[in-house]
Copies of this chain bind each other. A is one copy, B any other.
């Protein structure tokens, strides 16, 4: 099992590659099986083959691999993440387990306003004074919500009910197992300008790992305008 150091994100989050069965060679071999051919190592010409598969939307050769990521992120990020159905999830349970008092407070530079209409929003950084106010407001609200969560648990309320008061900024964690084709689809949507900044940071972390493990595939995906096959 490949285990790598965590990439830390925000104050309490991380992305970590927990295991992988992934190589550019697996793309080449699953494409070459069309011709009943197989290689033991990559050759220079295989770079062209991978580029061709990407451009011409031959997607299935990019599925014969797997990445297992261990992720810790705020609930509102996880909610977007779990919309991706081609892949597997197991998540920390707030029914069986008491969540920790870790919450998302954006760095001042990440506090932003939203300008424009649906389909064409842009974001602008908040003025420094406002950014600090917002950070303080969030922190206070989180503290109060968690204090109530604890009091409810102390009085014996079921965890699954007490979680009702926990805010969307609470951290959760999960494993996500996914193949390169589904991962490229995720990156094309979540490492994009239109994605929310917070999930974009996670997607960028995944992207660095993907680029390292399947470098030729990654280059072909970039050359294809970051469109998944």
A residues whose Cβ falls under 8 Å from a Cβ of B = 1, 18-21, 23, 25-26, 29-31, 33-36, 38, 52, 56-57, 60-61, 63-66, 68, 70, 74-76, 79, 82-83, 85, 88-97, 100, 103-104, 106, 111-114, 118-119, 121, 123, 126, 130, 133-134, 137-138, 141-142, 144-145, 148, 151-152, 155-161, 163-169, 173-175, 177, 179, 189, 194, 196
Contact = CB atoms under 8 A, between A and B. Distances in A.
A46 to B, nearest CB: 14
A179 B111 contact: no
Contacts of A196: 95, 160
Contacts of A138: 164-165
How many copies of this chain are found per oligomer?
4
Q: Which 3 residue pairs across A and B have the least CB separation, nearest first?
A: A63-B88, A66-B66, A164-B169
Given A31-B90, A90-B31, A161 B66 contact: no
State the majority secondary structure of interface residues on A: mixed
A126 B175 contact: no
B119 A56 contact: yes
A118 B43 CA distance: 18
Nearest to A29: B175
Given A68-B64, A90-B34, A141 B148 contact: yes
A174 to B, nearest CB: 6
A74 B160 CA distance: 12
